[in-house]
């Protein structure tokens, strides 16, 4: 009997899931449970895009617990002769100690719950599905895969936060995020372009959340996110780099900590600058000058951070764009690369417009490429390996 792996990626009001089967971990279906806080919407598609299920839970509330059994029953019905062996979870924060995927135990759950002050927005959302699955299927192996783990290889200079050492302790440091996405890109590059993968590459994960990662031989040596996922690039609704004096000023004007948190996470970024939306597609379709200003700032900050990361790498052999905006927004890629002509970068205009895999001219010294993100595949690989080892089954 073959073994199957279910992956869960929990957000603020939704959970993305995917089912992988067989020894090759072939993706059998992908889906999402949206609107968890009210009237959840459950849908899934096969790899060809055919709708397998679409169901609404009218009047249901209560988060993931309310629709968990429906999801597990749906998965069981699509397993055929396979058996669900494990569930893998994306956990945003692993702190300083959790630097590789781990099987979930009560001790691990307690350790992760203790990290909640480091990321009070994401950690409760990540841990809730783990607890729900444990209650529904207590014998089912669960594996936690950490978004911060890939950046554990960053050197000390890239990790330090310059506040008094006594205040920083072991927890206040730069962690980096989107690690599962970067790890997948590093693995994919090693498969298709091993020479480039062994070199100096900057990966641009551009979605609602956005960041860059500088890789040397497939290992993270620097990134734009730091202690929190607020740092670095301008994002859909997050501010990115900001002068700490702005935060002091807002506090002095009577804003509470909760108010400031809401401003920085939910009201800033592209939405804050444009006053219209945090969605790049909406801004591209708008004639409002502030929409153009927001997009220009987005590209300006990305290009500037690429320059800094190129310094950390000591040069640059390639750039990879990934995630929703990175894969599909040709104009954003153009605006970024146009600002980096001084580094010797250029685009093949037609290839960029087609979202081709390679969008730089053949004679360009620095390759510019597009690779689709696939965090779920990375989670599935880790989950199958760790579950097999921890159960005593050969990996």
Cα dihedral across residues 143, 384, 75, 43: positive or negative: positive
In whole angstroms, give the CA distance from residue 149 to residue 96. 9
373 closest CA partner among 231, 230, 184:
184
- How many CA atoms, within 13 angstroms, populate the side-chain half-sphere of residue 48? 2
Task: Specify burial of residue 205 (Cβ count, 10 A radius: 0-12, 13-18, 19+).
Answer: buried
- Rounded to whole angstroms, the Cα distance separating 233 from 390 reads 38
For the chain, percent helix, then strand, then coil, each to nearest 5?
40, 20, 40
Question: CB atoms < 10 A from the CB of 328, how many?
Answer: 16
Q: How big is the CA angle at 363 (ends 357 and 368), to the nearest 5 degrees?
A: 35
Residues 178/147, Cβ–Cβ less than 8 Å:
yes
Cβ atoms of 314 and 281 closer than 8 Å: no
What residues are annotated to the active site?
147
Going by C-alpha positions, the residue among 222, 182, 85, 199 that lies closest to residue 378 is 182
DSSP 331: H
């Amino acid at each position: 009997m073959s073994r199957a792996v279910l992956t869960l990626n929990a957000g603020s009001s939704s959970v993305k899931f995917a089912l992988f089967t067989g020894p090759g971990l072939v993706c059998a279906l992908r889906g999402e449970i949206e609107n968890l806080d009210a009237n959840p919407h459950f849908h899934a598609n096969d790899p060809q895009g055919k709708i397998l299920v679409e169901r609404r839970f009218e009047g249901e509330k209560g988060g993931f617990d309310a629709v968990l059994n429906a999801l597990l029953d749906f998965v069981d019905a699509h397993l055929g002769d396979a058996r669900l062996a494990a569930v893998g979870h994306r956990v945003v924060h692993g702190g300083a100690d959790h630097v590789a995927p781990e099987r979930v135990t009560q001790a691990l759950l307690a350790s992760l719950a203790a990290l909640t002050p480091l990321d009070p927005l994401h950690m409760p959302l990540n841990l809730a599905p783990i607890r729900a699955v444990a209650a529904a299927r207590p014998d089912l192996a669960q594996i936690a895969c950490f978004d911060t783990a890939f950046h554990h290889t960053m050197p000390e200079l890239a990790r330090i936060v310059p506040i008094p050492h006594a205040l920083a302790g072991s927890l206040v440091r730069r962690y980096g995020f989107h690690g599962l996405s970067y790890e997948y890109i590093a693995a994919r590059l090693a498969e298709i372009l091993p020479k480039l993968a062994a070199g100096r590459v900057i990966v641009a994960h551009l979605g609602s959340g956005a960041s860059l990662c500088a890789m040397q031989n497939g290992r993270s040596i620097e990134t734009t996110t730091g202690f929190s996922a607020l740092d670095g690039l301008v994002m859909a609704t997050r501010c990115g780099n900001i002068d700490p004096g702005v935060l002091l000023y807002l506090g002095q004007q009577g804003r509470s900590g909760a108010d400031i948190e809401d401003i920085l996470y939910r009201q800033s970024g592209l939405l804050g600058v444009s006053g219209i939306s945090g969605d790049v597609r909406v801004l591209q379709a708008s004639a409002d000058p502030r929409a153009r200003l927001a997009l220009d700032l987005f590209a300006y900050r990305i290009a500037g951070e690429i320059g800094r990361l190129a310094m950390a790498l000591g040069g640059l052999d390639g750039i990879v764009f990934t995630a929703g905006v990175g894969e599909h927004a040709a104009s954003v890629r153009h605006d970024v690369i146009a600002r980096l002509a001084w580094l010797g970068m250029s685009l093949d205009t037609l290839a960029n417009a087609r979202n081709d895999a390679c969008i730089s001219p053949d004679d360009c010294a620095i390759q510019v490429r597009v690779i689709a993100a696939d965090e779920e595949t990375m989670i599935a690989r880790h989950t199958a390996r760790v579950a097999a080892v921890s159960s005593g089954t050969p990996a």
